Structure formats: C-alpha cells, structure tokens
Amino acid sequence: MSKSADVFIIGAGITGLACAMASGRRVFESLDQPGGICSSYYVRPGDGRRLHQPPDDDEVYRFELGGGHWIHSGDPVVLHLINSLAPLKQYRRIASIYFSKHDHYVPYPIQNHLAHLGKDLAARALAEMMSAPRGHPPTMADWLEQSFGKTLTELFFAPFHELYTAGLWTRIGPQDAYKSPVDMSAAIRGAFETTAPAGYNTTFAYPRHGLNHLIQRMQEQCQIGYGKHVTHIDTRRKEISFADGVVVGFRSLISTVPLNQIMTMTGLPVDDEPDPWTSVLVLNIGAQRGERCPNDHWLYIPDSGCGFHRVGFYSNVDVSFLPRSARQDSSKVGIYVERAYPGGSRPDDSEIHDYSQAVVKKLQEWQYIGDTEVVDATWIDVAYTWSWPGSHWKAEALRVLGEHDIHQVGRYGRWGASQSIAESMRDGLMVGGAARLL
C-alpha cells in the first residue's frame, strides 16, 4: 500500500461535498464539475451548448441535470447551514395529477381530493379504502391496492407506477409510503370538501441564486480532484485505480457511488441477487409559454402516451429559471420531463431524438408550450433504487464493503429510498464528522 494512504471520499455530489466539508478529507470526482445530479447548467435560446456559469447578460435558461431538485423537510440545523451558504426562498407546493385522456386535473395527493372524481367514483374509492384488509403486503402493487383500493389503483396508481418504476412495481417490495400518505380522516373530508395540503413536500425551499450557488459555496471548502474516474478498487492491496492511469493507496474510503457500481468496482462477491434500479431520461425544455400551460410546480401523469410520468415547471417555481428578458411577462416557460427505464437499459441517440420530438409534440398538443428554444436531454443512470421482497443484498453488500474499510453514505451509496437535499447533506456531515477520527 502506498505511503500516501489516507482516508478519501469518492463522489462530489451533495453528500460527498458535505462529507468533505465536515472531515477535511480529499474528494475524487469523475466529472469536471461538482454537484452530481443536483448540478445546474445554463443554455442560451437557440444554442445547444451547456454553460457551467450564467453569462453576464443572464439571457439563458437555467436547468438541472436531474430535473427539479427542491429542498424539502430536513433537520433545522442543516437547513440553517444551507441558508447561511446560499440564502433560500420558501414556496408552497402546487401539484396535481393530470389525466390527459380526459383533460382533467386532480390536486395531489389524489386520495385526499376524491371530490374531484365525481360522487359515484369518490364513494366507491372511499368505501374500498375504509374496508381494505390490513397486513404485510409483499410487493408495491399489493401495498398500493391494500392502501387505496382497487378503484384508485386502476385509475391512477397502477398506470403511474408502471411508468415511474419502468414496470417493476408488481415485483419490488413496498417503498415510498411517505409520498402517498394514507389518512382516512383527510380522505373522508376530501370526498366532500377542500382539504389541507398533505405529504412530505407541502412546502419547500430553493436557493435564491440557483442550486449551483449552494454547490459552489460548498466546493470552496473542499479539496476536490476532478476528472478522477474510478475504474477499479483493489480491496486486498487497498488501492484505487483511475481511468487516467493513476493509482492511489487508501486506508479507508467513504463512497457516495451507487451501491451496485461500487460492488462492480471492487469485485466483492455477494450471494444474493442485486436489487434493481431504474434510470431516468430528463428532457429539459425552454419554450414559448402555451395558452393552457398550468400554474403547477409539477404534474404526475399516468397516461402521457409518450412514456413520461412527470412534467415539472421550473419557471412556475421561480422566474429566475428563465432568460432575464422573459421574467416580467411570463412569455416563456422552463420545463423538465422525466421518463424511467429499467436499470441497465439505455436508449441510443436516435431513440432519444425521436422521443424528444414526441414529447415536444405532446406538450404542444396540450398547449403547454409553443415554439421551443432549447431541448436538452440528460441521462441519469441510477435514478431510483428499489429492493426485491425479502432481499438481503443491500445489507450484505454494505457489510462486505465495511469489512474492507469502504463505507457507503448517501441516498445511492446506501441504496435507500428517495431523500431530500437536506437529508443528503445531513448524512454527509455526520459521516464526515466521524471521518475526522479515522
């Protein structure tokens, strides 16, 4: 092992940056910019080039690599830290389910707004929710029907989750219960009258000057080696091999790399079948605002016809996502569109091109947009992580890695359910504090 062996961090996303801030340890990042999927970038209308910084005239759309990333929930101390680094603006969520075949909007979450479905359907759905058997459902599909009944499952949850999980929902274990809270008192009220917002993100925050401002403030306090793509980790010799040919010895590693990828890098064996994941193609669009463009921050769509399951509106959250000249009259709109794919599959360039054209056509048919100025696609390889029912793969993989002084942290590193930026920062700060003692 090299005499320079030390404790290193792999990955300069939100978690890795927080870990580096708290520990003072060096970070290796495969890209030439920090932030991971939470990175912002800028594109001029009519110009496909991505800019890492906004130009002086600010005549650009601001997008994010992984679609809209809003700061919701989180430890108050961590939120205070974020605000001290990059002052935040607060927002109240506006979100709906859009049934495009019927051109009908229902406020999110659907189970708390049954009055929008008509009396007969609302009564049937409510009766099913109240009489549903309780137990320990093995799959997400079982959990959804047990929680919301057959009517709501067939109407929304089944077609939406077919898209959202890229077809895995009937085979993976239950997950994301916090996203669809089951509250019978709220459901009953919502069958007859307007109810209060519910869920994990009823309010959220976002840096006044963009997410990149937060990332930049964090990186200023870190030692980061960019362009350091890890190709192999030799757990016996305790060496990291990089694509540029450099080999570095380590004493201990803190990794934010997705768990499936770190297992490939190390070659460590685990008997259980690896848990699945889904990838997401994010289509960022800057366009003229259409006559029927909604005011929602995002929409859940079970029947898009193009395969996408969510449309978000950056500029409905804040006009700072638009070119400076369009911020007063709301003549333009910044949008992100998400489509999930089974992990390990990826469309080629021609498929992405055809899909992009189909999405633009669909949004124009819905009159959400007019002429487009920017259409830019980003591939997120590990976007959502899932588990097979009864799987021990995650626990066993984390145990085996720990035995070789490789410690996983963060949403993807620990193969956890979705979490907020604030929670990712908390994990990084906590592990980074402990890393000072390694």
Asked if 144 and 175 sit in the same domain, the reply is yes
Answer whether residue 104 is part of any domain. Answer: no
On whether both 254 and 395 belong to a single domain, the answer is yes
Residues 228 and 83 both lie in one domain: no
Domain end (from 352, 370, 385): 385
| pLDDT at site 180 | 66
| 169 and 241, same domain (yes or no) | no
Give residue 1's pLDDT band: very low, low, confident or very high (50, 70, 90): very low
**214 in any annotated domain:** no
Query: Can you give the CATH number for the domain in which 329 is found?
Result: 3.90.660.20
Same domain, 283 and 381: yes
Residue 183: the pLDDT is: 83
Distance between CA atoms of residues 30 and 212, nearest Å = 18
Q: Quick check: is 100 in a domain?
A: no
**191 and 135, same structural domain?**
yes
Domains in the chain: how many in total?
Answer: 3
Q: Are residues 77 and 123 in the same domain?
A: no
Do 226 and 326 have their domain in common? Answer: no
DSSP 8-state class, residue 114: G
In a domain, 216, yes or no: no
pLDDT above 90 coverage of the chain, percent: 85
Question: Is the pLDDT assigned to residue 4 strictly greater than 60?
Answer: no
- Within-domain flag for 56: yes
Question: Is the domain of 259 the same as that of 172?
Answer: no
Q: Domain for residue 105, yes or no?
A: no
Residue 101 belongs to some domain of the structure: no
Peptide bond before 109: cis, by omega within 30 degrees of 0? Answer: yes
The structure tokens listed for 326 are: 């369009």
Domain identity same for 40 and 29? no
Burial class (CB in 10 A: 0-12, 13-18, 19+), 291: exposed
Residues 292 and 371 in one domain: yes
pLDDT for the residue 160: 98
Q: Could you read off the pLDDT of 46-69 as tens digits, one per residue? A: 898 999 999 999 999 999 999 999
Residue 437's pLDDT band, with cuts at 50, 70 and 90, is confident
Structure tokens at 262: 């770190």
Residues 398 and 261 in one domain: yes
- Per the structure, the complete domain to which residue 133 belongs is given by 110-198
Q: Give the number of residues written for the chain.
A: 438
Q: Could you tell me which of 289, 298, 377, 369 has the C-alpha nearest to residue 339?
A: 377
